Structure 1
Amino acid sequence: MSAAHIHRRLDSLDARLSWFYARLLLLTGISWAVHTAELVLFLFTRQLVARNVGMGTRALEALGVGIFVGAAIGGPLFGYLADTRGRRSALLMAMALSLTGLLLSALATRHYQVIIARVVAGVGLGGELPAATVLVQELSPRAMRGRMVALLEAFTGVGGVLGVALAFGLAPQIGWRATYVIICGCVLYVAVLRFGVPESSRWLASVGRVDEALMLVEKVEKAHGKRASFAVQSESVAQMPVTIKTLSLSTRTLEIWSLWAVVALSAYALGTYVPTLISLWGFNVFSRWSSMVLIGLAQVFGCLLVSLVLDDYGRMQTLACVASSAAVVTALTSHAPWSGPFVVVGVCLVSALFAASWSCILVYAPDSFATGVRGRGVGYAFGFCRLGATVGSLLCPHMFNVWVMSVPAIARAFAVLLIAVVVAAAFMHEQRYMYLKNEDHDGTADSRNVNGSRGLKGTEEGTPLVSSSNYTRHTATYNS
């Protein structure tokens, strides 16, 4: 029995949110929420940590960059582990390491110890996202992958709300160290994931453990219930052939990694830095826990909304639409910093649109890699994403303080960059589809867009029918 048989049986499952998939989302989503809560807690307890440990400006900058650097390392590292040791194993190790870094932060007494602990936590945090994404993606039928991954990304907003509650409510009362230690108790959840979440049957089949994969597929079929026939599935589900079967520096691979980096850079500038500058001269959206909760809820709403359209209208087309909208809304918001309601609505809308954008990317990228290299492909992409965020955290202050750019000018610059990149990526994606469609001499192209881009069916996941190798200032400074 081949791996193709495993893929076909999973992909023929009825595209509905059964109890099995709801449970899978809940279990992996909780780990995702803890991941985000840890990040938010790190962000909003920086000043508490700095005062307690005694950190200067340089040390604070290193503290902020440290977690990005760690994540840039953790993405490729745990992506490799996901391909060699399994998706679930990589997720468990990454979560345990991130919480270990959090515990080391709570025990640190010197500024360099805190920075090192943040890097350690960053390595784990960087590994959680690619491992969890690939695991959920591979356990899901192709026709509902977009919905599943978008719903998983919705737990980012849930974790953001939890992190705000801890940072604003608990940490000032019991101290940041005690708060960190309490969160470290979530390490016990690793055991829940170990026994509650199955390994990816597609990965098991790709490494030759076909019998285990078959047993798992049978359990999934029994738990899920309704399953369409293979014949019906093959006629209705279309896909763009997996173009990357080996992890080499091909044009296609670099395109995906660059897309992640630019979106991360722009998301930091437009979604974090510009609202921060607005808060200095206008309405401070980050000073109220209520507005922070609204931002988290907006992220959940954005993911829920995009989950309804991803499997029907395409990943790249949806990405171009929502990311461009986020850029435009940020640019408009930067021109009215003193209007409280306008700023709150604008920032919440931007958060929702960027959450939707990340949902599109998290669905699109794994589908572009074959099973054997999918963990590394997504892991390296996430590493480039964190490098983009690191560049953003250094470049944005330089643009404001050294280049003396106004806040609206910064917003416009990154808005143009983001729109240009996502529109170009969507155009290239469409051109690639048209090229493959013209090359399909057997008439197997299907116009239904289920996998994020209309396309051609492959004989198995990762094996296309058509091969291709291309693949402190005054207020006036704000607007100066």
Structure 2
Amino acid sequence: MDTIRRLEQIPVSRFHYKLLVLTGLGWLFDAMDTGIIAFVLPVLAKEWSLSGTQMGFIGSIGLLGMAIGAVLGGMAADKYGRKAVFTVTLLMYSIATGLCGVAWNYESLLVFRFLVGFGLGGELPVAATLMTEYSPPARRGRFIVLLESFWGVGWLAAALISYFVIPRFGWQMAFFIGALPALYVFFIRMGVPESIRYLINKGRHAEALEIVSRIERLAGIEAPVQPAATSNADLTNLTEDKIAFKELWTGKFAKRTIILWIIWFGIVYSYYGIFTWLPSLMVQQGHTVLKTFEYVLIMTVAQLPGYFSAAYLVDRIGRKATLAGYLAMSAVSAYFFGQGGSAEIVLLWGSLMSFFNLGAWGVVYTYTPELYPTRIRAFGSGWAAAVGRFGGILAPTIVGYMIAGPQGFSHVFTMFTGVMLVVAIAVWLFGEETKGKALDEISK
């Protein structure tokens, strides 16, 4: 039995949950930083007298860094390993977040936010790739959506930090707290193994076999007496180490790349356009900063059941149905949220929008790395994420211009409704179902 087949036949065990927590904590810290800037923006707008356009640029510059980081991080992960890039990018964005706390003016904050984004962009697709390559095929969707659910916990942490810390200690302290994940790097180095598929693809079969044997022992499985033979699947692409962009556009990968880029652009455009601006938009609607933080905190809590419900459905009804359905419902919720109303109505539709939008995110991170083979998996995922980040770059700036009009709040959310509906239709019509398939089977 070859090494990859042995890995895929290991049942869900403590190892898988430990890896989920270790990579998930990195995800949590990413979200905490992204959430903190959303809560800091309305405070900075008053303190530094920022215009709507300047606020939009603060959100966009981080996403520009994420786009570049996603491409370079994905390329580095396929060349130097998932674990190394995961560690370096986490350290980079943690330090840059702390530097945001000492920003002395608008321009310096832009520089530090770019560096934060670069680290974040490099880490996210790499963490998802690593978890994808270790998850059993029948439960892969659930594990990746659960990994993404740590994002919701991170946003909740950001909301709590903003609610309790910013009013008392200032916005700088929120950034200093966001730098603490740098200490987590040591746990990653000790507890996260390198990807088996990456090791085999680089010809490091002894290391791969040792890790698989260790996981088998943890799961109570007796390893084969004879050393595992190297299969043809294990040797795939060992003769060519150079990663080329054109590979994403050859054969069936071209269609997959197009649909992934559409999904990523649309979901990132809508997410960052909505949630980066959400506290500021609500303040402009007449709510106090403190009351706004309370409302957004409640909406953030709604993200968690959104993730868990998507985790339940993604391996049952499939990637396409779950993703298209959650995007469509997020679009409907965004439309009614934009119509305003009483505090109760705003909270209801805002919570539903948060529930479905973040559930859809979990499926996107499940779906993306499944569609590429091992040697370009992180690279292809990184490019898809990078294209999405350009959507995120545009959205905060476009919102900054749109809210100047008398019906700006309503028009902003009508726009996001249209974007999410288009993506939902594209997924349903052109997406490829990957539920329950082994990674090698999908990429053939």
Instruction: Verify: 1:12 aligned to 2:9, yes or no.
Output: yes
Match of 2:170 among 167, 175, 178: 175
Give the match for residue 233 of structure 1: none
After TM superposition, the structure 1 = structure 2 runs for residues 395-434 of structure 1, keeping only pairs within 5 Å, are 395-401=398-404, 407-429=409-431
Give the match for residue 246 of structure 1: 247
Instruction: Verify: 1:362 aligned to 2:353, yes or no.
Output: no
Once residues 215 and 118 of structure 1 are traced to their aligned partners in structure 2, the CA distance between those partners, rounded to angstroms, is 41
Q: CA deviation digits over 1:209-260, x for unaligned, max 9? A: 111111111112222346999xxxxxxxxxxxxxx99333733312211220
Q: CA deviation digits over 1:177-218, x for unaligned, max 9? A: 344234323211101011111111111111111111111111
Match of 1:450 among 433, 436, 444: 436
Match of 1:87 among 82, 86, 89: 82
Compared CA separation, residues 413 and 175, structure 1 to 2 (3 A): closer
SS at match of 1:246: helix
Instruction: Verify: 1:107 aligned to 2:102, yes or no.
Output: yes
Judge conservation of contact 1:94–1:128 (CA < 8 Å) in 2: yes
Give the match for residue 128 of structure 1: 123
Once residues 449 and 179 of structure 1 are traced to their aligned partners in structure 2, the CA distance between those partners, rounded to angstroms, is 40
Judge conservation of contact 2:143–2:311 (CA < 8 Å) in 1: yes
Name which structure has the greater RCO, CA cutoff 8 Å, separation 6+: 2
SS at match of 2:249: coil
Compared CA separation, residues 141 and 58, structure 1 to 2 (3 A): same
Judge conservation of contact 2:91–2:182 (CA < 8 Å) in 1: yes
Compared CA separation, residues 228 and 267, structure 1 to 2 (3 A): farther
Judge conservation of contact 2:70–2:122 (CA < 8 Å) in 1: yes
- Kindly provide the amino acid, as one letter, of the partner of residue 8 in structure 1: R
Match of 1:340 among 334, 343, 346: 343
Q: Cα offset for 1:39? A: 1.3
SS at match of 2:10: coil
Judge conservation of contact 1:283–1:338 (CA < 8 Å) in 2: no
- Kindly provide the amino acid, as one letter, of the partner of residue 395 in structure 2: G
Instruction: Verify: 1:35 aligned to 2:30, yes or no.
Output: yes
Q: Cα offset for 1:63? A: 2.1
Judge conservation of contact 1:371–1:461 (CA < 8 Å) in 2: no
Once residues 273 and 38 of structure 1 are traced to their aligned partners in structure 2, the CA distance between those partners, rounded to angstroms, is 15
Instruction: Verify: 1:291 aligned to 2:307, yes or no.
Output: no
Q: Cα offset for 1:293? A: 2.7
Judge conservation of contact 1:245–1:373 (CA < 8 Å) in 2: no
- Kindly provide the amino acid, as one letter, of the partner of residue 247 in structure 1: L
Unaligned runs of 5+ in 1: 230-243, 434-447, 452-456, 465-480
Once residues 274 and 40 of structure 1 are traced to their aligned partners in structure 2, the CA distance between those partners, rounded to angstroms, is 11
- Kindly provide the amino acid, as one letter, of the partner of residue 152 in structure 1: L
- Kindly provide the amino acid, as one letter, of the partner of residue 247 in structure 2: T
Q: Cα offset for 1:172? A: 3.1
Q: Cα offset for 1:131? A: 1.1
Match of 1:204 among 187, 199, 215: 199
Once residues 270 and 115 of structure 1 are traced to their aligned partners in structure 2, the CA distance between those partners, rounded to angstroms, is 20
- Kindly provide the amino acid, as one letter, of the partner of residue 140 in structure 2: R
Q: CA deviation digits over 1:419-463, x for unaligned, max 9? A: 232222222235xx7xxxxxxxxxxxxxx9424xxxxx78x4565
**Normalised TM-score (structure 1):** 0.80
Once residues 52 and 207 of structure 2 are traced to their aligned partners in structure 1, the CA distance between those partners, rounded to angstroms, is 54
SS at match of 1:287: helix
Once residues 391 and 344 of structure 2 are traced to their aligned partners in structure 1, the CA distance between those partners, rounded to angstroms, is 31
Q: Cα offset for 1:271? A: 5.4
After TM superposition, the structure 1 = structure 2 runs for residues 137-156 of structure 1, keeping only pairs within 5 Å, are 137-156=132-151
Judge conservation of contact 1:266–1:414 (CA < 8 Å) in 2: yes
Compared CA separation, residues 399 and 32, structure 1 to 2 (3 A): same
- Kindly provide the amino acid, as one letter, of the partner of residue 436 in structure 2: V
Judge conservation of contact 1:285–1:292 (CA < 8 Å) in 2: no
Q: Cα offset for 1:150? A: 0.7
After TM superposition, the structure 1 = structure 2 runs for residues 20-59 of structure 1, keeping only pairs within 5 Å, are 20-49=15-44, 59=54
Unaligned runs of 5+ in 2: 225-244
Q: CA deviation digits over 1:374-396, x for unaligned, max 9? A: 11111111111111011111223
Give the match for residue 161 of structure 2: 166
Judge conservation of contact 1:98–1:124 (CA < 8 Å) in 2: yes
Once residues 94 and 396 of structure 1 are traced to their aligned partners in structure 2, the CA distance between those partners, rounded to angstroms, is 29
Once residues 304 and 392 of structure 1 are traced to their aligned partners in structure 2, the CA distance between those partners, rounded to angstroms, is 27
**Normalised TM-score (structure 2):** 0.86
Match of 1:375 among 364, 373, 378: 378
Judge conservation of contact 2:97–2:112 (CA < 8 Å) in 1: yes
Give the match for residue 335 of structure 2: 331
Judge conservation of contact 1:6–1:202 (CA < 8 Å) in 2: no
Identity %: 29
Match of 1:316 among 320, 332, 340: 320
Aligned length: 421
Q: Cα offset for 1:267? A: 3.0
SS at match of 2:194: coil
SS at match of 2:309: helix
Once residues 55 and 270 of structure 1 are traced to their aligned partners in structure 2, the CA distance between those partners, rounded to angstroms, is 19
